[in-house]
Amino acid sequence: MAAAAGVAALGTTLALAPGASAATTLGASAAQTGRYFGAAVAANKLSDATYVGILNREFTMVTPENEMKWDATEPTQGQFTYANADRIVNHARANGMRVRGHALAWHSQQPGWAQNLSGTGLRSAMVNHVTQVATYYRGKIYAWDVVNEAFADGGTGARRDSNLQRTGNDWIEAAFRAARAADPTAKLCYNDYNTDGQNAKSNAVYAMVQDFKARGVPIDCVGFQSHFNSASPVPADYQANLQRFANLGVDVQITELDIEGSGSAQADNYGRVVRACLAVSRCTGITVWGIRDTDSWRASGNPLLFDGSGNKKPAYTATLDALNSGGPTTPPTTTPPTTTPPTATPPTTTPPPSTPPPGGSALEGGGEGPQGRGRQAPSVPLTVVKSGRAPAITKLEPAAPDVAAGHAETENACGADVRPEHAPADRGEAGTHLGVARSARSAEGIPAIHGGGGSQNGQLGAGASTTFGFQGTGVGPSATPTCSAS
Ligand code: XIL
């Protein structure tokens, strides 16, 4: 099928209007600089109204806390269970949040059968696991933690000993290659802890990323877990460490932030972390590892932004203030995955029928958004995960750095300020065009194109892909648009 790039205009204004008030939620304030603010979420808490209320109000990214881990998704070899992970993914997508997938290959939380494997049996089981899970969620994941915690603590800079490591030193790149093949639209991250400052461990990760980039092993981002307490404080060189990784040509993300403590000391530390991310243009977002202190995996340290009753703590205020102080001037410079998504070959397994809802379609794009007035940004690949006529496109983000700056809200950003004026000839229906423009939604809610001449609603067939381009007319950051129809 055709996948020619089209060019479209993105008419956005990035500066907050004079007198405009600061954003009042973490997600909206992070979006002012094109970033996300996320939380780790547990499926069994989605029935807790207080929890869900905070989640939906404050956060724009979700990481399943345990539900995508190997023991959860493949408890028996070759038999995959996604019910709990799907609950989180579906909740996120239904509420305009994106998803960080966590984690495809890790020495911990392996199912018993994998713990008992070794050698080529384990290697092929790991690669199959990565392939199956990444394929199942293809098009729904902003970034995958492909490999988690593969380096040892201490001063050696060595790999962590594990059953996976004992399959051969190339197990990490095997996992990344499998993930890229399975989902070319997700950013692929290496994620670890005690790598937040410069030390032997982070130096070893740095060398691996440098080597991967030199050899073309697909890697797009590095996650810094950032679990802090008095024994492991926010490093003085935190920002510098994030920056040196960014300088390798990868995005950096703060992936599991929690800081034990209380009051102004804890608040100050949260503020420092946020300011460090905002000072690094390729730091694309921050995720806290839970919502309320009582939700935390280390609840005794009260390390999160909300107390057990769901009240905002001083740490929350410091975080929000730091995000707002960033203003719209230090956007991340997100780039899409380095390989070109396939244009014709659909994934080997079909996405779950439950998501998106029957009759809906999901359009996912990755690519660069606006970078300056009048500057054309690269094309954005779109993939239809499921065919069908969509009632409405509900979100395009983070196209939204610009959207949010002018409009405070990231929700329903799809088309609010993003108007692809013409899209490539694609697609499922001859002569139709695909795009997004809230203001131009048809009565049926079919994604509509602004401008470009003529009636240009359309849709893609299942598994089909296309691309479209944006042209920035603001002074905005680059971004990775993701458009979801539900
Ligand atoms: C933790 C979860 O929060 C706990 O619920 C679970 O019992 C253990 O794992 N680094 C990681 C996360 O990458 O997956 C871990 O999450 C915390 C440390």
pLDDT in tens, 242-270: 999 999 999 999 999 999 999 999 999 99
Distance between CA atoms of 400 and 408, rounded to whole angstroms?
A: 10
Q: Are strands 471-472 and 143-148 parallel, antiparallel or unpaired?
A: unpaired
Which residues contact ligand 1 via a Cβ below 6 A? 65-66, 148, 225, 256, 297
> In the structure encoding, which two tokens stand for residue 431, read together?
């002569």
Asked if the structure places residue 317 within a domain, the reply is: yes
Best substitution site from 148, 297, 298, 304 to test ligand 1's pocket, by max atoms within 8 Å of Cβ?
297
The residue contributing the CA closest to ligand 1 atom 5 is: 297
With tokens 């983070």, the residue in question is 398
Q: Which residues, including other chains, have CB under 8 Å from residue 29's CB and lie 6 or more apart?
A: 22, 23, 37, 320, 323, 324, 326
Let me know if residue 467 belongs to a domain: no
Backbone φ and ψ for 8, nearest 5 degrees, come out as -140, 165
Band the pLDDT of 379: cuts 50, 70, 90.
Answer: very low
Give the least confident one: 182-191, 326-335, 425-434, 470-479. 425-434
Ligand 1 centre distance from Cα of residue 183 (Å): 24
Mean pLDDT over the full length of the chain? 74
| pLDDT surpasses 50 at 466 | no
Specify the 3-state DSSP secondary structure of 290.
coil
CA dist., res. 217 & res. 350, Å (int): 26
Residue 100 Cα to ligand 1 middle (Å): 14
Structural domain boundaries enclosing 187 = 26-326
DSSP result, 229-260? BTTBPPPTTHHHHHHHHHTTT-EEEEEEEEE-
Report which ligand 1 atom has the smallest distance to the Cα of 149: 13
Burial of 390 (0-12, 13-18, 19+ CB in 10 A): buried
| Domains in the chain, number | 1
- Left (φ > 0), alpha (ψ -120 to 50) or beta: where does 154 sit? left
CA distances from 247 to 140, 192, 206, 209, 285 (A): 28, 18, 10, 11, 17
- What is the model's pLDDT at position 8? 33
Q: Quote the tokens at residue 462.
A: 């299942």
Supply the pLDDT for residue 327: 56
Residue 289 CA, closest ligand 1 atom number: 3
Give domain status of residue 399, yes or no. no
- How far is ligand 1, taken at its centre, from the CA of residue 371, in Å? 36
- Which atom of ligand 1 lies closest to the CA of 191? 13
Contact 274, 323 (CB under 8 A): yes
pLDDT greater than 80 at residue 211: yes
Task: Give burial (CB, 10 Å; 0-12/13-18/19+) of 76.
Answer: exposed
Please report which confidence band the pLDDT of residue 22 belongs to, taking 50, 70 and 90 as the band edges. Answer: confident
Determine the distance from the C-alpha atom of residue 4 to the mean position of all C-alpha atoms in its chain, rounded to a whole number.
26
**DSSP single-letter state for residue 124:** H
Of all protein residues, the one whose alpha carbon is nearest to atom 1 of ligand 1 is 297
At 388 the pLDDT is: 29
113-148 confidence digits (pLDDT tens):
999 999 999 999 999 999 999 999 999 999 999 999
Q: What is the rounded distance in angstroms from the CA atom of residue 64 to the CA atom of residue 86? A: 10
Q: Which of 427, 480, 450 is nearest to 3 (CA)?
A: 427
Mutate to test the pocket of ligand 1, among 289, 292, 294, 296 (most ligand atoms within 8 A of CB): 289
Which positions ≥6 away from 163 have C-beta within 8 Å? 107, 110, 114, 115, 117, 118, 122
CA of residue 153 to ligand 1 center, whole Å: 17
Q: Is 428 part of a structural domain of the chain?
A: no
CATH of the domain at 157: 3.20.20.80
Ligand 1 center–CA 65 separation, angstroms = 7
Catalytic (active-site) positions: 256
In the structure encoding, which two tokens stand for residue 59, read together? Answer: 């956060």
Give the integer Cα–Cα distance in Å for 369 and 9.
10
- Ligand 1 atom closest to Cα of 40? 3
Q: Are 270 and 322 in contact (CB under 8 A)?
A: yes
Q: Compute the average pLDDT of residues 363-369.
A: 33
Binning pLDDT at 50, 70 and 90, where does residue 21 land? Answer: confident
**pLDDT of res. 189:** 99
CA 39 from chain centre, in angstroms, equals 11
Is a pLDDT exceeding 60 seen at residue 398?
no
- Residue 433 tokens read as 């065009």
Give the model confidence (pLDDT) of 344-365 as tens digits: 443 443 333 333 332 223 333 3
Distance (Å) from CA 287 to ligand 1 centroid: 13
Whether the link from the prior residue into 30 is cis, omega within 30° of 0, is: no
- Ligand 1 binding pocket mutation candidate from 65, 222, 293, 304 (most atoms within 8 A of CB): 65
Quickly state the pLDDT bin for 335 (edges 50, 70, 90). low
Say which range, 2-6, 206-210, 346-350, has the weakest mean pLDDT.
2-6
Q: How far apart are the first and last CA of the chain?
A: 24
pTM for this entry? 0.69
The residue count of the chain comes to 486
Nearest to 23 by CA among 470, 406, 308: 406
Share of the chain above pLDDT 70, in %: 63
In a domain, 376, yes or no: no
3-state secondary structure of 306: strand
In a domain, 61, yes or no: yes
Does 274 score more than 70 pLDDT? yes
Q: Does residue 132 fall inside a structural domain?
A: yes
- Ligand 1 centre from 486 Cα, in Å? 31
Q: Which atom of ligand 1 is nearest to the CA of 106?
A: 13
* CA nearest neighbour of 332 among 204, 143, 469: 143
Is 388 inside any structural domain?
no
Which residue matches tokens 């996650």?
223
